[in-house]
Structure 1
């Protein structure tokens, strides 16, 4: 990863070529590009002008760049004045719409130039990302024998007949085997993008992108609670639900087992038993986990100081907060913010003062 002293002119650029056939699922390709754009945005927020970035080209079946697309699709094809720089790093082969396996074979047979292009790319050390039945095009290059692929179950029999020297990554939605990264279904596009980000922009940015691109219900709930102190809906009416709802609504208040038991309408002894039986932890341990979930959100999306976040999460002593946060997350608050922050540091804020 480049240092902050590197200028934007020398920041590395990793180009991905995306060939589109008449049969291609274009939506897969556009979604993949959207995820790469999100990665570039996050990299820029975190690293400024020194951030490496991803570029892409849409190609036709012979490997020639497609012209600028019309209307809203223009953002997916670079203008001739701003071609994507950098040598190619990878190919992304989206799945294509075909009625059955014989139609897949016909599509591959009609696109010999693209198959040869894939073989040349692999020989040059590029990586190939495939989605669904796009794996047939990569396999036809003859360069991936002995590798493993992730495919939907309904393609496995036909693919094995056509390519008996390629194995299957059973039970995996995405497989990484040397230069070949394959995803089984359209839902795997996000995982393929994160894999590409890890190979190009680095593990830290890949982890941050996965945090942004992957549904995380814990973070959603923590963000809502931190913003509005909302309660769990009444439909979740149980001893634990009442206790947890009260905890979430009072995260920034001192812990009191007696008050918590009163809110749950049980004795302290009964409350302790419920937590131990259902969650294998004490109410205080669970409260610490909820507070740390809020702290994660605040470290990611705000520029509040660690002592301020400690107070917002119910800890009057910042040192105690740091110890507890490290115990529950495996790292100090400052380190967590450095890895996961979605905000640019203040030193990179730009303030334009208008003339008065």
Structure 2
């Protein structure tokens, strides 16, 4: 079982502390198993958390047990951080432990020196402070999170949810992450000025819409070489009327919706099969592997090969 340790330091932001507890604690595999053990670790004694205080059930020495450590933000960017906590973070990083910060937790992580020479983000209010205090870090304030492999950072508040769901997806694939997102009442993709590797759910029509049967048909036949005329004939509408209905109800065109459905199907195949990329291109309805690669990169923000490397389900 994968152990996630959440570091609770004095002045911890309660929302940042609770986010990984909820996401990882509620995640379930398809067979119902719990893939994560979540620990709250901190220094001895009470820890202030705004309106209340808490006592972490595990000490800093428990960080050594972790496969992943989450560093929540602190309400005061100038608050002292115990040297024992910084040393523990450095030591676990040296052993290969994955470490992620939420919000201003990047300022804590930066004090270890582990982010030097790397790209990172934090809450927009703290971005200038992080850049000024740690010029060795390339601070990007315009993204929800930054994945540097072993070290990850996220922006403020809800971006911690994006980061935790991203980690679940890295560990267990999109289906498990989608279930975790639903439990958090979160989309898998949010606007944030970044390519997040995740194509969100296809826009749904209002219940009872005349487009519902057509959308089901499109998903079932997305692998075919469909033209706008083909889709309009299936719907029994003119192309002009079809385009109008799609824009009014889905905010998209029929062909844009179809391309999105094809990319979602391609993501599933890349994660769950070993089929060559060129074969997947044909399976999802692209006549040209080159066109598929270009569309995939434009939609997902990375190449099919890189996506597979990041999200392939290795348990299969």
Q: TM-score interval w.r.t. the shorter chain?
A: 0.5 to 0.7
Following TM superposition, by how much is the alpha carbon of 1:32 offset from its aligned partner in structure 2, in angstroms?
1.6
3-state SS of the aligned residue for 1:55? strand
Q: Does 1:248 align with 2:248?
A: no
Contact 2:130/2:139 (<8 A) preserved: no
Q: Does 1:90 align with 2:68?
A: yes
Size of the alignment, in residue pairs? 228
Q: Check if 1:35 corresponds to 2:23.
A: yes
Gaps of 5+ in 1: 1-12, 67-72, 79-83, 99-103, 232-244, 262-267, 297-324, 331-338, 340-356
- 3-state SS, counterpart of residue 172 of structure 1: coil
For residues 140-178 of structure 1, what are the alpha-carbon distances to aligned partners after superposition, in whole Å with 9 as ceiling and x for unaligned?
112321111112332222212211111123532100113
The CA distance in 2 between the partners of 1:251 and 1:159, in whole Å, is 47
- TM-score by length of structure 1 reads 0.51
1:167 aligns with 2:151: no
Tell me the secondary structure at the aligned position of residue 132 of structure 1. Answer: coil
Give the Cα separation in 2 of the matches to 1:279 and 1:248: 11
Structure 1 position 196, deviation (Å)? 2.3
> Helix, strand or coil for the counterpart of 1:122?
helix
Matched position secondary structure for 1:47: coil
Which of residues 12, 16, 20 in structure 2 aligns to 1:24?
12
Distance 1:279 1:155 in 2: 42
Q: How does 1:228-247 map to 2 (within 5 A)?
A: 230-231=207-208, 245-247=209-211
**Counterpart Cα distance in 2 of 1:258 and 1:155:** 55
Task: Please name the residue that 1:235 is paired with.
Answer: none
**Alpha-carbon offset, residue 272 of structure 1:** 2.3
Cα 1:163–1:187 shift into 2, 3 Å: same
Work out the CA distance in 2 between the residues paired with 1:249 and 1:161: 56
Q: Which runs of 5+ in 2 are unaligned?
A: 48-53, 189-199, 218-229, 248-252, 265-282, 287-291, 293-310, 312-316
TM-score by length of 2: 0.57
Superposed CA deviations along residues 266-292 of structure 1, whole A, max 9, x for unmatched, are xx5xx4224357869xxxx949x69x9
Q: Is it true that 1:156 corresponds to 2:127 in the alignment?
A: yes
- Cα 1:274/1:194, change in 2 over 3 Å: same
Map of 1:215 onto structure 2: 187
Q: Is 1:181 aligned with 2:152?
A: yes
Task: Give the aligned partner of residue 129 of structure 1.
Answer: 100
Which residues of 2 match residues 313-324 of structure 1 at below 5 A? Answer: none
Q: 1:16 to 1:131 in 2, by over 3 A?
A: same
In the TM superposition, residue 250 of structure 1 has moved relative to its aligned partner by: 8.5
Deviation at 1:29, TM superposition (A): 1.9
Aligned CA distance change for structure 1 residues 18 and 259 (closer, same or farther; 3 Å):
closer
Retained in 1: the 8 A contact 2:23–2:161?
Answer: yes
